[in-house]
Amino acid sequence: MKKTLIIIATTTLLLFIGCGWVILCQRSENRRLADNNRTLTERLAHTTALANSQRLSIGRLRMTAGELEELRPTHAQRIEQLGINLRNARALTLTATHTLLDTLLPPPPSPERLSDSITTPIHWSDEWVSLTLTPNPNGTHLHFISHDTLTQVVHRIPYKWWIFRWGTKALRQEIRSSNPHTKLVFSEYIEIEK
């Protein structure tokens, strides 16, 4: 009789622990989905800061690798194009930029340099950059547009021994620009720990 009661009590306790674990996992998943919904429905905060520099603020989306492959297949392909296994990716950031310069260049300072000035409109463009120079009595009008998308992936590098991989040896950030005219000059990845 005592043995049966102990088995029933142990089984009941294990069931309660299992149910509690499932409830905690479900709460965490519900919180993640609620955060994603809030991020997707909030307005993009786009402000102009000091000295005409711009600031863009947006919340983060939290997705599993399977959700990323299903909902954003082009993003998953970008990660794989960088030679990174999707399971090892920790964060993905895409930043699109649009540069526009519309200004009037002054005429040449001396009359003998007047022959160097532009007399007919010049236009050059490709998929990423557009440049137009138009002559004007007050100088030359310059219109320049450039588009770029930066892809940044933070991924883990696992420890390796023979064919076994485990843990995290390091975190690395890979950055790629879609515009071939862009030169990546500097990037820094700082993880702030509490």
Domain check: are 96 and 167 in the same one?
Answer: yes
Range of the domain at 187: 86-110+117-194
Q: Please give the C-alpha separations between residue 15 and each of 5, 26, 32, 110, 183, in angstroms, as whole numbers.
A: 15, 16, 26, 91, 59
Sign of CA dihedral 46, 49, 54, 60: negative
Q: Write the pLDDT tens digit of every residue in 22-48.
A: 777 777 777 777 777 776 666 655 555
Domain check: are 96 and 172 in the same one?
Answer: yes
111 pLDDT band, cuts 50/70/90, is low
Average pLDDT rounded to a whole number, residues 152-165: 82
Domain check: are 30 and 101 in the same one?
Answer: no
144 lies in some domain: yes
Q: Go through 5-35 and write b for each residue having 16 or more CB atoms within 10 A of its CB, e for each that does not.
A: eeeeeeeeeeeeeeeeeeeeeeeeeeeeeee
100 pLDDT band, cuts 50/70/90, is confident
182 lies in some domain: yes
Structure tokens at 106: 């002054």
The domain total for the chain is 2
Domain check: are 104 and 172 in the same one?
Answer: yes
Domain check: are 30 and 98 in the same one?
Answer: no
Domain check: are 127 and 32 in the same one?
Answer: no
Burial zone of 141 (CB within 10 Å; 0-12 exposed, 13-18 middle, 19+ buried)? middle
> Tell me, what's the pLDDT at 135?
81
Average pLDDT rounded to a whole number, residues 147-174: 82
pTM equals 0.63
57 lies in some domain: no
- Residue 36 CA to residue 18 CA, distance in Å, equals 27
State the chain's mean pLDDT as an integer: 78
Backbone angles phi, psi at 138, to 5 degrees: -90, 5
Domain check: are 2 and 97 in the same one?
Answer: no
Closest CA to 95 of 34, 54, 38, 156: 54
Structure tokens at 147: 């588009």
61 lies in some domain: no
Which one has a higher pLDDT value, 73 or 170?
73
Instruction: Flag whether pLDDT at 126 surpasses 80.
Output: yes
Nearest-5° Cα angle at 176, 132 to 39: 95
Domain check: are 21 and 97 in the same one?
Answer: no
Domain check: are 162 and 93 in the same one?
Answer: yes
Domain check: are 98 and 186 in the same one?
Answer: yes
CB 109 within 8 A of CB 141: no
Domain check: are 90 and 152 in the same one?
Answer: yes
Number of H helices, E strands in the chain: 3, 7
58 lies in some domain: no
> Tell me, what's the pLDDT at 112?
56
62 lies in some domain: no
3 lies in some domain: yes
1 lies in some domain: yes
Instruction: Flag whether pLDDT at 145 surpasses 60.
Output: yes
> Tell me, what's the pLDDT at 172?
82
